[in-house]
Amino acid sequence: MPLYSPSRHPAALPLNIETLRKGLKTERLGLSFHLFDQIPSTNAAALALADQGAPEGTTVLAEAQTQGRGRWGREWISPAGGNLYLSVILRPQTTPSRTGLLSLAGGLAVARAIEEAVGITPRLKWPNDIRIGSKKVSGLLLEGPIYHGRYSHLVIGIGVNVHLSNADLPEELRAGVTSLVHESGRPVDRVRLTQAVLERLEAEYEAFLKGRTDQILISYSALSETLGRSVRIQEKDGFRTGKVVGFTENGGLMIEEADGRRSPIHSEEVIHVR
Ligand code: BTN
């Protein structure tokens, strides 16, 4: 069954910059928009713009991507037809270790934006897979070059499956992916959703810059589906299992192993066991 059936949902209206600007309540994100019908990747475009000096908050949107990038070098399937592919340039004066927290803050912002614009509260699988039930509806990818131990700039790329159809996906991904129109059974206003993403992202970014780590982690924990779960962590030379007892101030997982030892986990692949 397609996730999105055109007979049940009206076709998505194309995005346009004027409508996106109207009513956008942000002070620095989305003040400058670049909107494309199709490009290889909004992250790649935003990184190039940032390199040429584009200001913080510059936002790149596309109706389709031909080389959408996901985490772990995976492809982010990005057909035309009313999904959201956007990337925002940030210039935090921060060390790479702090970006783990920024990545959680970004996931939290997108989950809250979906709640606000669509009326569904998604949950977060660490670090920032945004899921409804057990299916992924959105993902984030932070990228940026590091000079002298710091990011000169960062791009936060966000993909949201709004109208994605099962037919767009290879067979093996179908069971694990969903879309907002499928879940809500209603049309989704992509302009409002984009604005909500930028507004929520600005608020969480502000909290990050002001060092409000506890505030971010408390809000994140409330939406986390990983907290309290037993997890299996894929490491270079095997697996480790433990129970997630919290998050570290740099956005890592704190796990407790069977012998009671607690250790932070940062970049490994985490699989929920139960
Ligand atoms: C993930 O694997 O969960 C992260 C997916 C991030 C996809 C978005 S779509 C907009 C931006 N441009 C890209 O090429 N990737 C990100």
For residue 134, CA distances in Å to 138, 234, 239, 241, 272 come to 12, 20, 23, 21, 11
Contact, 162 vs 113, CB < 8 A? Answer: no
HSE on the CB side for 270, CA within 13 Å?
25
Count of C-beta atoms within a 10 Å radius of residue 45: 20
85 Cβ closer than 6 Å to some ligand 1 atom: yes
68 Cβ closer than 6 Å to some ligand 1 atom: yes
What is the pLDDT averaged over residues 225-253?
A: 90
42 Cβ closer than 6 Å to some ligand 1 atom: yes
Distance from residue 87's CA to the centre of ligand 1 (Å): 8
Total-model pTM: 0.93
Beta partners for 85?
62, 159
Residues 153, 72, 243, 175: is their CA dihedral positive or negative? positive
Q: Of 75, 79, 102, 69, which is closest to residue 209 (Cα–Cα)? A: 102
267 versus 38: which is more confidently predicted?
A: 38
Specify the residue with its C-alpha closest to ligand 1, atom 7.
159
Q: Which residue has the tokens 């940032």?
A: 50
User: Per mean pLDDT, which range of 34-48, 122-136, 176-190, 232-246 is the poorest?
Assistant: 232-246
Query: Which atom of ligand 1 has the smallest separation from the CA of 85?
Result: 10
Distance from residue 141's CA to the centre of ligand 1 (Å): 5
Identity of the residue numbered 105:
A
Query: Which atom of ligand 1 has the smallest separation from the CA of 78?
Result: 9
Count of C-beta atoms within a 10 Å radius of residue 95: 12
User: Per mean pLDDT, which range of 58-62, 95-99, 109-113, 210-214 is the poorest?
Assistant: 95-99
Identity of the residue numbered 102:
L
Model pLDDT, residue 218: 97
Distance from residue 154's CA to the centre of ligand 1 (Å): 14
pLDDT tens digits, 8-58: 445 578 899 999 999 999 999 999 999 999 999 999 999 999 999 999 999
Specify the residue with its C-alpha closest to ligand 1, atom 10.
85
For the record, the structure tokens of 274 come out as 């139960």
